[in-house]
Chain A
Amino acid sequence: MKLPSALSPVRRYRALGFPYRAPSTPRGVEPAPREKTTGAHYDTSWARRLPARMARAAIVDGPMRLVVSGLAAPDRRGQDRLGALEGPAIFAANHHSHLDTPLLLTSIPEPWRHKLIVGAAADYFFGTRVTSVLSSLVIGAVPIERSKVSRRSADQAAELVNDGWSLLLFPEGGRSPDGWGQPFRGGAAYLAQKTGRPVVPIHLEGTGRILRKGRSLPRASTTSVTFGRPLSPRDDENATRFAARVEAEVAALADEASSDWYRARLRAHAGESPGLTGPDGGQWRRAWALGDRSRSAKRRTRRWPDI
């Protein structure tokens, strides 16, 4: 067969036909259903093998760390609270921005940092083959269903934790739409109960100023990452109650980051820690109240000496 030389390479390929192209389905034949290979069905096991782990470690400790330092200038606190922690853990943080994951990947200390998987929204990060590969390789993501309760996601995550992998989750289920937090879902608490591993509460502050939801270009600012003491579910505590305790602890860490440790502990013990979800009311009132929590709000006015 002689192809007209004026055709473009794509057209020339299309003109080649079977067997160079996929066969067409004969009419009257019911095609076999295609097995989904993206979303929650994407197999990420290749990203936990040694070559991918080494590549990820090079990315995290190289360019990712540089970008995070340049954009977020993180102030990392409370890492010493993990001193007595042995074995894998479930890290649970509040969520403001796409920057949260790189910030945490570069903040979670060894030995957990390089044996860490990140629970990522299956519908967002695993929507296509390309995003699936990139998410698995660069951040060690595993798909988590957030639109429905999925035994598959939870079982896979629990299995990996039992295999010695630590898990990073954002229990709010998505980035904050307005700068305030959202109620914690029970996934991290459920996994802690299922695996017997503790949850490490983490509070992130400032990433929303850099790349909040809806913005495409980042703007450099300062951030803080505050680690809390590992929490384990009590005997009389179900996943819902434990999730509430994890949320309260993250709220106490938020209070600590915006005031100081002792005042935060006083309020935490009195059950008066400011909530993560902000006040009820109109949008402007929530936005207004947000200003009180920013770090600049706690700057003390200069006191002039008494003369």
Chain B
Amino acid sequence: MLDVDKSTPPILFHHGEQFRLEKLPADRSRVIYPAEPLPGLPDPDESIRQALLNPIDDDPLPALLTPGMKLTIAFDDISLPLPSMRKPDIRQRIIEQVLDMAAAAGVDDVHLIAALALHRRMTEAELRHALGDRVYDAFAPHDALYNHDAEDPDGMVELGLTRHDEQVTMNKRAAESDLLIYVNLNIVSMDGGWKSTATGLSGYSGIRHHHNVKTMRESKSFMDRHSSELHHSNWRQGEVIKAHGPRIFQIETTINNNTFGYDGPLHVLQKREWEWTARDRATFVGMQKGLDAMPSSARRKIFQGWKAPYELTSVQAGDVEKVHETTLEHCFAQHLVPVEGQTDVLTFGLPYICPYNVNSVMNPILVMCLGLGYFFNMYRGKPLVREGGVLIMSHPTPWEFHPVHHPSYIDFFEQVLSDTTDPIEIEQKYEKQWAEDEWYIHLYRNSYAYHGVHPFYMWYWGAHALQYLGRVIIVGGDPRSVRRLGFTPASTMQDALEIASDVVGPAPTITHLHNPPILMADVT
């Protein structure tokens, strides 16, 4: 963490597919930087093999595989990791080893399912990238590799109710398997555990019990599983899955913070500003000017094409809950940064990507979700910003949507947000209608569209921050979009700080979250 003084250089703010350098006020600002990337495992394939042969609180995987069994392998979808990683993807590494063991045991009946819940379906190219050509060519032509379909009337089963009367639904093939192997990729501490199966292989009737305003407001934060109502609900559903569902062998992994590489065109984004060499500065200026001169579609193409050189830092397999606790330790070891005290004003620059716009457009609703949902919740203990404080985000927030991926978002933005931005009112008045809309369901099942209810969840994701913050300001955003979100537009950081002073007084303390690479503030 850096306390800003007069000699501190301007600080980098991500700004969608562009960048801004902002001078923060001296003596009352601080910058929280992500930790250096942890070293990757020297031999990932051997580490995976060892994890499968020596699982936590479970039998070695080969002992669970028998000829004639029904085996299902579910895996995390396109929303992980962010950005997509260089080949070979961790999912490919793991699934190839799992399948090789299954082949050794003579297992013929194997299905692979992208556990995407209500996300859009993965395209063939995306599946090939995640699993590799060998796995794709072996299973997809025989309809044994496919996307989960939560709206398939014949493809879902009810497993029962939790002790809080929450429904538990699951993909039928997974539920009726003799063994369900879940291959997870934890990029943040929110992922994994029972959330993998209870959400990833579920449908609207199960997910609505935790993807709602009340749950999200009581998740403080949803990045801290032990203080997250979102996770408590998933864990209750996990109890039902454990009792009435398939046997689960969970494989979880963590990656390091090497998002932009140690060298190459983007490596400067991984360095602290005062460490930038002349070459780094030249690289940055060239990149910034070049990006500013490009049309947004070209900028998007360049950034969406970036594959992160992430390295595997841990892999563990076996019992869902015990595996997940180990995963969290590794996750926190990379992400947690100790921070003392809260701040009046929290700032961050939003990058070009969030879990729901991979190979797509970051529309205004996703800007809200990334800022008030994900980045705001990057804390353990208490929020970085005090209650009633101000959040200043930097993003162009264009009035732009991907018509194939986000059709329901367009209508949500036009019809719902023009009426109200209050999450409770939105939930009560509109959610059911969008969730059950036949056209959205058709597009979710047959095109590559997010489910009709998905934009609601994005809004609920930020519900806690909306209730908690005094004001939200977006710097450099399209004023029309920003106002539609219910936020305040500002042209410059200076303007934003001046607007913020109406809420938090004339000389507020400021904390800048220098993210990405990912960091999580451990606030005391």
Contact = CB atoms under 8 A, between A and B. Distances in A.
Contact of B133 (A77, A263, A269): A77
A183 interface: no
Interface string A116-131: 0000000000000000
Contact of A261 (B45, B87, B135): B135
Interface string B96-135: 0001100110101010000000000000000000001111
Given A268-B103, A269-B106, A84 B134 contact: no
A269 B134 contact: no
Contacts of B243: none
A249 B100 CA distance: 14
Given A78-B134, A80-B88, A83-B88, A265 B99 contact: yes
Contacts of B138: 260-263
Nearest to A259: B138
Contacts of B139: 260, 262
A78 B138 CA distance: 14
Interface in A54-81: 77-78, 80
B50 to A, nearest CB: 15
A84 B108 contact: no
A208 to B, nearest CB: 23
Interface in A254-283: 256, 260-263, 265-266, 268-270
Given A260-B141, A261-B137, A262-B139, A80 B132 contact: yes
Nearest to B46: A84
A265 B103 CA distance: 6
Contacts of A265: 99-100, 103-104
Interface string B42-74: 010100000000000000000000000000000
Contacts of A261: 134-135, 137-138
- Report the contact-size class of chain B (Cβ under 8 Å from the partner): 10 to 19
B70 to A, nearest CB: 15
Task: From A77, A269, A300, name the one whose CB has the most chain B CB atoms within 10 angstroms.
Answer: A269
B103 A84 contact: no
Interface string A233-257: 0000000000000000000000010
Interface string A80-112: 100110000000000000000000000000000
B104 A269 contact: yes
A262 B108 CA distance: 9
A256 B106 contact: no
- Report the contact-size class of chain A (Cβ under 8 Å from the partner): 10 to 19
Contact of B43 (A84, A256, A260, A268): A84
Contacts of B100: 265, 269
Contacts of A269: 100, 103-104, 106
Contacts of B106: 266, 269-270
Given A84-B43, A84-B45, A266-B108, A260 B137 contact: yes
Contacts of B132: 80
A270 B100 CA distance: 12
Contacts of B141: 260, 300
Contacts of A80: 87-88, 132
B45 A256 contact: no
Interface in B72-91: 87-88
Task: From B45, B87, B108, B138, name the one whose CB has the most chain A CB atoms within 10 angstroms.
Answer: B138
A256 B134 CA distance: 9
B73 to A, nearest CB: 11
B331 to A, nearest CB: 25
A188 B45 CA distance: 26
B459 to A, nearest CB: 40
B110 A262 contact: yes
A265 B45 CA distance: 18
Contacts of A77: 133-134
A263 B108 CA distance: 8
B43 A262 contact: no
A300 B138 CA distance: 14
12 contacts: A77-B134, A80-B87, A80-B132, A84-B43, A260-B138, A260-B141, A261-B134, A261-B137, A262-B103, A262-B138, A266-B108, A300-B141
Shortest 3 CB-CB contacts between residues of A and residues of B = A265-B103, A260-B138, A261-B134
Interface of A: 77-78, 80, 83-84, 256, 260-263, 265-266, 268-270, 300
